[in-house]
Structure 1
Amino acid sequence: MTAQHREPASFPRQYARTQRFSLGAPRAFTVSPDGARVAFLRSRAGTDRANVLWVLDLDEGREYPAADPQVLLGGSEEELSAEERARRERVREGSAGVVGYATDDTAELAAFALSGRLFVAELRSGTARELPVPGPVIDPRPSPDGRHVAYVAGGALRVVDAEGGADRALAEPEAATVTWGLAEFIAAEEMSRMRGFWWAPDSSALLAARADDAPVERWWIADPANPGSAPAEVAYPAAGTPNATVSLAVLRLDGSRTDVVWDRERYPYLARVHWSDGGRPLLLVQARDQRAQAYLTVDPATGATDVLLTEEDPKWLELFDGVPAWTPDGRLVRIADRDGARVLLVGDRALTGPELHVQAVLDITDEDVLVAASAGPAAGEDDSATGESHVYRVADGLLERLTDGGRNSAVRSGAVTVLVSASLGEPGSAVRVLRDGKQIATVVSHAETPVLTARPHLTRAGARRIPAAVLLPSGYRDGDGPLPVLMDPYGGPHGPRVVAAHNTHLTSQWFADQGFAVIVADGRGTPHTSPEWEKSIHEDFAGATLDDQVEALQALAGRYPLDLGRVGIRGWSYGGYLAALAVLRRPDVFHAAVAGAPVTDWRLYDTHYTERYLGLPQERPEVYARNSLVTDEGLSAPVAPARPLMIIHGLADDNVVAAHTLRLSSALLAAGHPHEVLPLSGVTHMTPQEQVAENLLLLQVDFLRRSLPPAAK
């Protein structure tokens, strides 16, 4: 069969091959301050994993490659170190080629790692070259002046001249458990701090994190399919156990070192670091219980810190992208919860109120701050705005929305802004380049067009006005009768699913097209319109999140053709926990469940995430028991009637380890509860393998069809 006559791929195969339609889509934008260039990553096709570093010349209106991995590696396959594989797992990176890069202040020089080797690219000319340095290289970053490149290799923080000479170590590990310049597991997995070093604005020094995971408990992840292979040892900080010891030092290019001093016993978590011309280095450090945090300034000459301000919250304090930071004229920019709203503060002034729910800071100038935000608690409960997120310019007396509908983000430098916008009506995202507010260019996406079209109805359900999406089979008509229901939630913190973006709903639509009415409900705990909504799950995963799934289901039954006698539920990670919880706690409502990589015993999950919501297990054992699926209280054995449950888990998962599923299976067996376990050899939490991703969808449909009760006659 010729390529011209090849039959279109099924959705499961296309979804797997395109890595959820992310391949070929442009991302990771950098705008040069002079407004002349936009750098970004994109592969050449929707099934091509290898990202190329591209430059869009805004004056000439042309794109050209600045770094092509196929050329730089001479056609050979990429080789990844164990450290790089772990880093990519933390950031959920499944592509290849140039997966990340950093630039100098002028966006003329970019540095990146490829197959563990260090490369730099001249963005004006579009030429790239390798710098011969020890490897494998992780996270290279040019100095602001473009004269040096700092990088990590073998746990040491090193620096090399941008022309390739004078390579040397600024700090080397004193033991095998120590690294310099890398984010420790808990920072990368839960704090969204992916970096471990920061250049001084004048390029003379770096702030570098030293992490020692010697105190962290060792776990072993085996590959049972290959019994001849030794288990992999990982340092995993489970709830209630020790974290890595993290400190900071100022490392100067002349080889001198000054340790940074703060009350690390009171504030052990290094959550954020910012160093710019606006002021001294700025740290955000958190207490272990995350109910208190301090903003500190650092004297680079002595390492001494001063407390700029502290914050407290009776439940927990959230972390946000882009803050804390200085304005160029030295005012502190932060996001905080005040009077029931999440607001932007510059200096001592709140520049937004309850009309917005601020999510992140995107850019800062003396004149304004660019933020991403959704509608806040005072903006009403208009269904038409459900799931939207917009870009705003904010200043004293100014609140200007730059985007229309959908989900939006932006990158800005000087007069040029790159807007990335997704909508319900079109697949993928559109990328527009604006100068002084006027569109001057677009960035083309090579992502594949899905073979199906998602048709979600975004609404709110029940007395709590729970954000929900309802998807019916394509071609369903009034009078076709009620449908079996599939609840398809994530339902946990930091994971909104009810969003005004087409591609987010593709898998749910595919399940709908198999003959289900699919409901996605974002109950309490998910990020939507208010801090109160997010913090309602404090010490109560099992109650609040499950109650909201039930409320949404029952409320929507009066508006959509739902057969409440045939209700299934599926989910992954927190959604897997919620799915298993549903059939074990509410078998009167849910009749079958597919639980993928579920957290079943919160004592086995990591410190920063779990303790934020449930506290320390030593201090609150009853809270952990109540929210567990494997304790007597959590399982509520025996469960009657016993509902079919399929549990899926990757045996190589180092985030939600397979012990969660094995313990649940043992507890279910002891309780006499029938269930199925599908172990995935060599699969991590991401399930990036094409055949695995495709067949998982097909197996879930098969399980649900044979497990749900027959339609009533």
Structure 2
Amino acid sequence: MDGQLSFPRQHARTQRFSLGAPRSFTVSPDAGRVVFLRSRSGTDRANLLWVHDVDDGVERIAADPAALLGDRGEELSAEERARRERSREGSAGVVAYAVDNAVELAAFALSGRLFVAELRAGTARELPVPGPVVDPRPSPDGRHVAYVSGGALRVVAADGSGDRALAEPEGDGVTYGLAEFVAAEEMGRHRGFWWAPEGDRLLVARVDDTPVRRWWIADPAHPEREPARVAYPAAGTANAEVTLSLVDLDGAARPVEWDRARHPYLARVHWSAAGPPLLLAQARDQRGQLCLAVDTDSGRTRMLHADEDPVWLELFGGVPAWTPDGRLVRIADEGGARVLVVGDRPLTGPQLHVRAVLDITDDDVLVTASAGPEAEEPGTGEIHVHRVTELGTERISEGVGVHSAVRAGAVTVLASTSPERSGASVTVLKDGKPAGSIASHAERPVLTARAQLTEGGARRIPCAVLLPTGHREGDGPLPVLMDPYGGPHGQRVVAAQNAHLTSQWFADQGFAVIVADGRGSPGRSPGWEKSVAGDIAGVTLDDQVEALHAMADRFPLDLSRVAIRGWSYGGYLAALAVLRRPDVFHAGVAGAPVTDWRLYDTHYTERYLGHPDERPEAYAANSLVTDKGLSGAAEQVRPLMVIHGLADDNVVAAHTLRLSSALLAAGRPHEVLPLSGVTHMTPQEQVAENLLLLQVDFLKRSLGLD
């Protein structure tokens, strides 16, 4: 690699050093194969489907997009682009795949076409079906593949014969087999259909988004183009109507019945051979939810468990689910801790903060967890893999870092990051012992992050502090850059090298950079996360100030020159900081900020602020654009740059435009940087590189560092 390549260009070209790294692992139940995705190099966007042989360690290609598509480039449908935006997917080629139970047949879409790969033989072929194809999935027995095309759920035999529609939309705004916006964006549910274990029928979601308000997203740089029309369920407005049916392979359907009026959100669906299908249905205010079992003959449901919380109920990966002997597995907030519950018995306590369930067997449950509120060691930024049994808990991952795993039978694939090395190491374990590794082709960064992970203030706020490379004690105080996300669902202080690379680059421009995960951030305790209810602005901003002052007692910080930058919620926090606390913050860069919470989606916003018709005062107090929101701004004016992608369909550009109008009306100078054709992600290489450079230039100019 060219040693003169700048970090901003390398960071952009490698898509944050994600290209070339193995991901999306699946282990075969016979312990013979590990299937995964990886591109050929750290700058190649096109993922290939690979198979790793556990016994001999040999890797082979199961599907190569270049060979399958030939000279034709990728063409993505609107549905596929939306799926990738919701999952923040910026790569190309095979970006997702699904397998049968034996992990012998994989199905995937390329350029809207359906392909299958025989994983033992290593051959791939196209199935001639109507396109564009979205989310193809083999039946558990490998005999059929179901997929979505044109809003219809279709099925085809694995040999390409018998293609037919099982459920077709009755009109515009109706789809079968796809997740609605809030499910994919906020609930972590990206699917809309689920195979029966026997492969003879499916559970299929029908989404009718005709009640949802329509918005128009235009590209002002191309006035000759029509604006895109999108269904966006803003806070307080109608959601899509989601129903569920059991559909046989001949198209016969039976509706699944539950009280959708009280629990309209279909948050989770699970169907395994261990028991009947499970649904997790949430109330709109997210303070109540039901775990339901579906009678597959009648479609009726029965309640297995009901949860209530006076603040809100969190959703978790991998649950609800069954143990092989038919006990319900769930994660619950009990006694101030987040615990794993199997049947009626909690199997973990306040020493662990359980985050997700990875695998369930007769003998144990594999989970990821952070240190709990009563852990002996705080483990700042660490996430580990634990094996939980009736007799206790055993940690599987070793060393300081962030770890995750995929397991089937005797084989576990353990992916581990650490503060000392870039990227993740992927180890294949068989019967608990190392049996090989899966190589990464990701590029090595041109700089090394030297994050000091600590806690500060009376609340012990997790912080990462980064000083310029080569900085020595006695060099004098440094201007400060706060670099938070700082809000719900976004943990930034993690024990991983790559997570802090951009912060280190900013530090190397002459700043002391502080990343602080205040209240509302995940990974500590339920009470910590839920303390932002009704006051996300005040709580999260107070914690940034507390973290800054706590770090000033231990590091050489110049508190007369403090800037803040952030994206999305971090962008909101940055704008909030310079407007409401100019006594602390002297310049800010707000990227894609949510400035008016009435313009953000239902499931996220109403969780924290309630329904706007019932709590208008909360929306006014937490907004940056209402009279009450701006009235909280101090008279002292600090430089503010606001950046927004005009094609963003998550945090729409209206947020920035309304903030700019409100600031202009109040006579407050500011800068706005519009990004034509850019969504909530910034995958374009030149855009991503120059955004970093422009931010540094603005911050230095604003703090008088030129």
- The reply to whether TM is greater than 0.5 is yes
- Residue 579 of structure 1 is aligned with which of 542, 557, 574? 574
- Matches of 1:304 and 1:56, distance apart in 2: 43
- Look up the match of 2:425: 430
- Matches of 2:388 and 2:4, distance apart in 1: 47
Q: Does the CA contact (< 8 Å) of 2:353 and 2:525 recur in 1?
A: yes
- Residue 391 of structure 1 is aligned with which of 385, 388, 394? 385
Give the drift of 1:60: 2.5
**Structure 1 counterpart SS, 2:268:** strand
Give the drift of 1:307: 1.0
Give the drift of 1:640: 2.0
Q: Does the CA contact (< 8 Å) of 1:638 and 1:672 recur in 2?
A: no
Q: Does the CA contact (< 8 Å) of 1:151 and 1:159 recur in 2?
A: yes
Q: Per-residue displacement from partner, 1:676-698 (whole Å, max 9, x unpaired)? A: 00000000000110000000000
- Residue 199 of structure 1 is aligned with which of 185, 195, 198? 195
Q: Per-residue displacement from partner, 1:555-610 (whole Å, max 9, x unpaired)? A: 11010000000000000000000000000010000000000000000000000000
Work out whether 1:226 is the aligned partner of 2:222. Answer: yes
- Look up the match of 1:174: 170
- Residue 91 of structure 2 is aligned with which of 73, 82, 95? 95
Work out whether 1:666 is the aligned partner of 2:661. Answer: yes
- Residue 442 of structure 1 is aligned with which of 437, 442, 451? 437
Give the drift of 1:147: 0.2
Cα 1:129–1:710 shift into 2, 3 Å: closer
Which stretch of the first structure deviates more once superposed, 180-189 or 57-66?
57-66
- Matches of 2:208 and 2:251, distance apart in 1: 21
- Look up the match of 2:514: 519
Q: Per-residue displacement from partner, 1:478-517 (whole Å, max 9, x unpaired)? A: 1110000000000011100000000000000000000000
**Structure 2 counterpart SS, 1:301:** coil
- Residue 600 of structure 2 is aligned with which of 597, 605, 629? 605
- Look up the match of 1:534: 529
**Letter of the structure 2 residue corresponding to residue 238 of structure 1:** A
Q: Does the CA contact (< 8 Å) of 2:417 and 2:425 recur in 1?
A: yes
**Letter of the structure 1 residue corresponding to residue 459 of structure 2:** R
- Matches of 1:530 and 1:480, distance apart in 2: 38
- Residue 546 of structure 1 is aligned with which of 541, 550, 554? 541
**Letter of the structure 1 residue corresponding to residue 420 of structure 2:** G
**Structure 1 counterpart SS, 2:367:** strand
- Residue 641 of structure 1 is aligned with which of 626, 636, 639? 636
Residues 97-116 of structure 1: matches in 2 within 5 Å?
Answer: 97-116=93-112
- Residue 83 of structure 1 is aligned with which of 60, 65, 79? 79
- Matches of 2:657 and 2:372, distance apart in 1: 42
Q: Does the CA contact (< 8 Å) of 2:330 and 2:341 recur in 1?
A: yes
- Matches of 1:374 and 1:293, distance apart in 2: 25
Q: Does the CA contact (< 8 Å) of 1:275 and 1:281 recur in 2?
A: yes
**Structure 1 counterpart SS, 2:563:** strand
- Residue 152 of structure 1 is aligned with which of 148, 167, 191? 148
Give the drift of 1:709: 4.3
**Structure 2 counterpart SS, 1:505:** helix
**Letter of the structure 1 residue corresponding to residue 51 of structure 2:** V
Q: Which runs of 5+ in 1 are unaligned?
A: none
Residues 244-255 of structure 1: matches in 2 within 5 Å?
Answer: 244-255=240-251
Residues 132-143 of structure 1: matches in 2 within 5 Å?
Answer: 132-143=128-139
- Matches of 1:253 and 1:73, distance apart in 2: 30
**Letter of the structure 1 residue corresponding to residue 644 of structure 2:** H
**Structure 2 counterpart SS, 1:119:** strand
- Matches of 2:593 and 2:662, distance apart in 1: 14
Work out whether 1:37 is the aligned partner of 2:33. Answer: yes
Give the drift of 1:361: 0.2
**Structure 1 counterpart SS, 2:420:** coil
**Structure 2 counterpart SS, 1:523:** coil
- Look up the match of 2:621: 626
Give the drift of 1:75: 2.9
Give the drift of 1:24: 0.1
Q: Per-residue displacement from partner, 1:262-291 (whole Å, max 9, x unpaired)? A: 100000000000011111110000000000
Q: Per-residue displacement from partner, 1:419-450 (whole Å, max 9, x unpaired)? A: 00000000000000000000011000000000
**Letter of the structure 2 residue corresponding to residue 182 of structure 1:** L
Work out whether 1:335 is the aligned partner of 2:348. Answer: no
- Matches of 1:168 and 1:238, distance apart in 2: 36
Q: Does the CA contact (< 8 Å) of 1:637 and 1:671 recur in 2?
A: no
- Look up the match of 1:368: 364
Instruction: Normalising by structure 1, report the TM-score.
Output: 0.98
- Matches of 2:352 and 2:632, distance apart in 1: 45
- Matches of 2:635 and 2:510, distance apart in 1: 27
Work out whether 1:52 is the aligned partner of 2:48. Answer: yes
Which stretch of the first structure deviates more once superposed, 54-63 or 155-164?
54-63
- Matches of 1:475 and 1:211, distance apart in 2: 56
- Residue 461 of structure 2 is aligned with which of 448, 454, 466? 466
- Look up the match of 1:307: 303
Q: Does the CA contact (< 8 Å) of 1:26 and 1:445 recur in 2?
A: yes
Cα 1:637–1:412 shift into 2, 3 Å: closer
- Look up the match of 1:288: 284
Instruction: Normalising by structure 2, report the TM-score.
Output: 0.99
- Matches of 1:104 and 1:224, distance apart in 2: 46
Cα 1:381–1:584 shift into 2, 3 Å: farther
- Matches of 1:646 and 1:704, distance apart in 2: 9
Q: Does the CA contact (< 8 Å) of 1:585 and 1:636 recur in 2?
A: no
Which stretch of the first structure deviates more once superposed, 300-309 or 609-618?
300-309
- Matches of 1:403 and 1:281, distance apart in 2: 32
**Structure 1 counterpart SS, 2:302:** strand
- Look up the match of 1:689: 684
- Matches of 2:453 and 2:358, distance apart in 1: 27
Give the drift of 1:58: 1.2
- Matches of 1:9 and 1:553, distance apart in 2: 33
**Letter of the structure 2 residue corresponding to residue 304 of structure 1:** R
**Letter of the structure 2 residue corresponding to residue 603 of structure 1:** R
**Letter of the structure 2 residue corresponding to residue 597 of structure 1:** A
- Look up the match of 2:342: 346
Q: Does the CA contact (< 8 Å) of 2:355 and 2:523 recur in 1?
A: no
Q: Does the CA contact (< 8 Å) of 1:638 and 1:671 recur in 2?
A: no
Number of positions where the alignment pairs a residue of Structure 1 with one of Structure 2: 705
Cα 1:123–1:492 shift into 2, 3 Å: same
**Letter of the structure 2 residue corresponding to residue 599 of structure 1:** V
Give the drift of 1:708: 1.1
**Letter of the structure 2 residue corresponding to residue 664 of structure 1:** L
- Look up the match of 1:615: 610
Identity of aligned residues (%): 75
- Residue 273 of structure 2 is aligned with which of 277, 286, 292? 277
- Matches of 2:34 and 2:632, distance apart in 1: 59
- Look up the match of 2:648: 653
Give RMSD over aligned pairs. 0.9
**Letter of the structure 1 residue corresponding to residue 698 of structure 2:** F
Q: Per-residue displacement from partner, 1:88-107 (whole Å, max 9, x unpaired)? A: 00000000000000000000
Work out whether 1:506 is the aligned partner of 2:498. Answer: no
Work out whether 1:678 is the aligned partner of 2:698. Answer: no
**Structure 1 counterpart SS, 2:564:** strand
Work out whether 1:242 is the aligned partner of 2:242. Answer: no
- Residue 492 of structure 1 is aligned with which of 465, 487, 490? 487
- Matches of 2:135 and 2:483, distance apart in 1: 36
Give the drift of 1:254: 2.4
- Matches of 1:345 and 1:644, distance apart in 2: 50
- Matches of 2:663 and 2:705, distance apart in 1: 25
**Letter of the structure 2 residue corresponding to residue 494 of structure 1:** H
- Matches of 1:140 and 1:556, distance apart in 2: 50
- Look up the match of 1:409: 404
**Structure 2 counterpart SS, 1:201:** coil
